[in-house]
Amino acid sequence: MTLRLLQRLAILVASLVVSSVIVFAFMAVLPGDPARVALGVNASDAAVAEMRSEFGLDRSPVAQYLSWVRGLVTLDPGSSYVSGTAIGPQLADRLQVTLWLVVTAMVVALVVAIPVGTVMAVRHRQVSGLALSAVSQLGVAIPAFLAGILLITVFAVKLGWLPANGWTPPADDPAMFLKQLVLPVASLGLVQAAVLTRYVRSAVLDVLREDYLRTARAKGLPPMRALVRHGLRNAAVPVVTVLGLQLATLLIGAVVVERVFVIPGLGSLLLDSVSQRDLIMVQDVVMILVMAVLVVNFVVDLLYVLIDPRLRVSAR
């Protein structure tokens, strides 16, 4: 158990290092000098040189990489080339917003996908199961931003039930916060639910064929109770794997959905920074997104151990 934890931790650190090198290298090989890009073509050479030395851009790539990593690790990533404001607090602020969006969407997706996928599997030979499959197929085919636009059209524009866009921090006005959260979470979460439903369905179908489920019924459990008591935990293993991977899709979805709903999260920050040519900010946001995916997959790996005792070495 501890061995596995240490192993996974080592893998996490190694992947963080590798991905940070890749992100850094990718930004470094972009044509153009970041200082020139930030100041614009009309800036004098002297101004550019001054900025290069102010931000340390005149140092070797290795020195620049190390100071960037140090900034991230010490949670003090310095200030933006463009606005000159501190990057740290901005990232923290935006990350919080995006986390609300992504985590709530994931919870909604699971709350929908687990029961619906299970029913689809149990009724896979019946019309109701096939109908649900068709609906989820449709859901998989709709991109999150399109779902967002459709939801805005119906619930905000036509019916006027919910605000079309905007963001209010939960501490300022909880009611408004929730109202504004509904549509973006629905557009991210329902599409995600459609995808997860299909994984839940196939995991449950596999479990339904297992001998231990027959044993459970032979003991006297009715089929649905047998499935819930003995099947779902086993079906969770493949679903949790997908969950980790789907988080990446969800983050990409969030970038777009934040734009559609005018939400000040990491996605908006990323797109704004790109358009303002704030390369260091872009680099930091991308790195945070990568870190989020890696950390979640690390957690997922540990979850397996909780779900499946076969992975615990000498648990007895």
Interface ranges with other proteins (CB under 8 A): 125, 210-212, 214-223, 229-230, 233-234, 307-310, 315-316
CB of 245 to other proteins, least distance (A): 22
Closer residue to other proteins in complex, CB, 135/307: 307
CB closer to other proteins, 70 vs 233: 233
Nearer to other proteins, 70 or 229 (CB): 229
CB of 313 to other proteins, least distance (A): 11
Closer residue to other proteins, CB minimum distance, 67 or 234 = 234
Contact call for residues 104 and 181 (beta carbons, < 8 A) = yes
| C-beta atoms surrounding 198 within 10 Å | 20
**Is the Cβ of residue 84 or residue 309 nearer to other proteins in the bound state?**
309
Minimum distance of other proteins from residue 122's CB (angstroms): 11
Give least dist CB 214 to other proteins, A.
6
Q: Which is nearer to other proteins, 137 or 215 (CB)?
A: 215
At closest approach, how far in Å is the CB of 246 from other proteins?
23
Q: How far apart are CB 137 and other proteins at their closest, in Å?
A: 23
Rg value, the chain, Cα: 24
Q: How many CB atoms lie within 10 A of CB 265?
A: 25
In the bound complex, what is the minimum distance in angstroms from residue 130's beta carbon to other proteins? 15
| DSSP class per residue in the chain | -HHHHHHHHHHHHHHHHHHHHHHHHHHHHSSS-HHHHHH-TTS-HHHHHHHHHHTTTTS-HHHHHHHHHHHHHTT---B-TTT--BHHHHHHHHHHHHHHHHHHHHHHHHHHHHHHHHHHHHTTTSHHHHHHHHHHHHHHHS-HHHHHHHHIIIIIIIS--S-SS----TTT-HHHHHHHHHHHHHHHHHHHHHHHHHHHHHHHHHHHT-HHHHHHHHHT--HHHHIIIIIHHHHHHHHHHHHHHHHHHHHHHHHHHHHHTT--SHHHHHHHHHHTT-HHHHHHHHHHHHHHHHHHHHHHHHHHHHH-GGGSTT--
C-beta of 66 vs 228, nearer to other proteins = 228
Q: Whose Cβ is closer to other proteins: residue 147's or residue 240's? A: 240
Q: How far is the CB of 149 from other proteins (least distance, A)?
A: 42
